[in-house]
Structure 1
Amino acid sequence: MSWEKVGDICRTAVHQLSGHQTYSESRGHNFTLNATFDDIEASKYDGLVIPGGRAPEYLSMNESVIHLVSKFSDSVKPIASICHGQLILAAAGVVKARRCTAYPAVKPALVAAGAHWVEPETMSACVTDGNLVTAATYEGHPEFIRLFVKVLGGTITGSDRKILFICGDYMEDYEVMVPFQSLQALECQVDAVCPKKVPGDTCPTAIHDFEGDQTYSEKPGHDFTVTANFEEVDPLTYDALVIPGGRAPEYLALDEKVLALVKHFMEEGKPVASICHGQQILSAAGVLKGRQCTAYPAVKLNVVLAGATWLEPDPIHRCFTDGNLVTGAAWPGHPEFISQLMSLLGIQVSF
């Protein structure tokens, strides 16, 4: 097998249960590799994460992959595997007599490999057995990440925070899913609201990527579930606000109730984190005057006309904090975006 190298792209898939007998699949984000497989030495890493999807079907047949997983297992280093990733664990022979779960269709392989199968009561189910953390699907990411941090020896402090997300149809998939689930993993209470929608309703999301055109391409993303009622939101009960990007902000910026909500958080000096096109809402709310911020480059006009000092996002993952305001340009900046919001909230993960 010819391994891809640093800077190469792995295509991802969007898997959803949509009322059919199995999940649907569509094209996801393009994921950029930052290391080359042949250069990896297990001894230099503290833990291993195995994503799911369809890749494990062929990776489980690759001797180099199996050898690497076995090294982590033999060293009793933390291993976290999700969904179909457990096919690789089964092939590596590391689940014998171990309690684990997975996407239900993986059950026969795990049972045949000698695992103690734990039926996932929901698709967010996770199981820990010693150094091994397994989960059923991406719906379980908050607990999956939290358990992995714990197995790595980490401790989360300052997490008694309540955070609100303003959502809308065709917000960017990563820009809502990643911060939302990350903050849940940090043990925060996180609510998502959308005008004219109630808990249990969904917002379709969009996947924005650069694929050789002059601007980003768009593909359908996951459906994101609203968790609270927009009309009943009391901003006094929340410690911070997050505004995802995508296409939703251009019409949410026309909603006076959305703008009033944003103004409250800014006037009260509560942390506000906005990414990509989310700054269209901040601009419309009139809260950027005299502030320093960045955004997706095409939103620069909105930011400058709103009286802010523009900070060039170069490289695109750059994020900035100005007082209570964190701004980012696009989803590649999530590590900085979430880290800077954590600092404002006083949340720490220590090892």
Structure 2
Amino acid sequence: MKKILLLLANGFEAYEASVFTDVLGWNQLEGDGSTVVVTAGLHKELKATWNFCVTPEKLLMDLNLDEFDALAIPGGFEEADFYDDAFSEQFGTVIRHFNDQHKPIASICVAALAVAHSGVLKERRATTYNHPTSQRLAQLATYGVAISKDRIVVDDNIITSANPSTAMEVAFTLLEMLTSSDNTEKIKDLMGY
């Protein structure tokens, strides 16, 4: 069984988190059955964007990171205090651990900024929220990242993406990294993609 840590910061986007639970959950029931998602955060209750409250299964401090095979991080909103948790040393330690072990790290939208803040994206290709009115790509560049304007960027073990519309594609990309292209195509078909 492959365990995926779904790392949730206060202010995360519920939609961006749900794609991981749905795609990997579909795989658990209808695919090769090899994936299970565990949600964790720094707080016993997390408030997502738009005041949607979530109780993570585990607190980050109670986890043995070596038990996990991949990391998934949804983005969020600054106005909902996303970066307070996402830029914390605890999040950085988790991200560096997965990178040091060369395990997949999947981030959606501005979660790429948390990955970059940890230091693991320096001199690597990545993207983040890229709307013409946003300065997030410029912010990502300040971490020494080779900026891409592609919708999804895979640089070795790290997946970054340009906006919330890429969320399902990121989840499918992670599933393929953890299983196979044939299995991923089966899940896409069953889910209507």
2:127 to 280, 287, 294: 294
In terms of Rg, which structure is larger? 1
Equivalent in the alignment of 2:31: none
Tell me the residue number matched to 1:203.
46
In 1, distance between residues paired with 2:138 and 2:85? 18
Aligned equivalent of 1:45: none
CA displacement, residues 271-307 of structure 1 (integer Å, 9 cap, x when unaligned): 0001111112112111111211111123212321111
The alignment covers a number of residue pairs equal to 171
Cα distance between partner residues in 2 of 1:174 and 1:261: 22
Shift in CA distance, 302/283, structure 1 to aligned 2, threshold 3 Å:
farther
Name the SS for the 1:193 alignment partner: strand
RMSD of aligned Cα (Å): 1.8
Distance 1:230 1:335 in 2: 25
Are residues 322 and 266 of structure 1, via their aligned partners in 2, closer, same or farther at CA, if it must alter by over 3 Å?
same
Residue in structure 2 matched with residue 182 of structure 1 by the alignment: 23
Query: In the alignment, which residue of structure 2 is the partner of 1:166?
Result: 7
| 2:19–2:171 Cα contact (<8 Å) kept | no
**Deviating 4+ runs (over 4 angstroms):** none
Q: CA deviation at 1:221?
A: 5.4
Inter-partner Cα distance in structure 1 for 2:57 and 2:144: 34
Unaligned regions of 5+ residues in structure 1, if any?
A: 1-159, 207-219
Residue 262 (1) aligns with residue 95 (2): yes
Other structure's SS at 1:276 match: coil
Change (3 A) 1:331 1:264: same
Distance in 1 of aligned mates of 2:96 and 2:146: 19
SS in 1 for 2:174: helix
Match of residue 306 from structure 1:
143
Q: CA deviation at 1:254?
A: 3.6
Q: Indicate the residue corresponding to 1:236 in structure 2.
A: 66
1:169–1:235 distance in 2 versus 1, CA, 3 Å: same
Distance 2:15 2:86 in 1: 20
What TM-score, normalized by structure 2, do the two folds share?
0.81
CA deviations on 1:116-157 (whole Å, 9 max, x unpaired) are: xxxxxxxxxxxxxxxxxxxxxxxxxxxxxxxxxxxxxxxxxx
Structure 2 residues not aligned, in runs of 5+: 29-34
How far, CA to CA, are the matches of 2:155 and 2:67 in structure 1?
23
Higher percent of residues as helix: 2
The 5 Å alignment of 1:70-109 reads: none
Q: Displacement of 1:185 after TM fit?
A: 2.0
1:223 and 2:66 equivalent? no
Name the residue aligned to 2:155: 322
8 A Cα contact 1:249 1:278, kept in partner: no
* In structure 2, C-alpha distance between the alignment counterparts of 1:286 and 1:304, rounded to whole Å: 12
Contact 1:253 1:285 (8 Å CA) reproduced: no
Give the residue type in structure 2 aligned to 1:169. N
Displacement of 1:234 after TM fit?
Answer: 1.1
Pairing 1:331–2:161 present: no
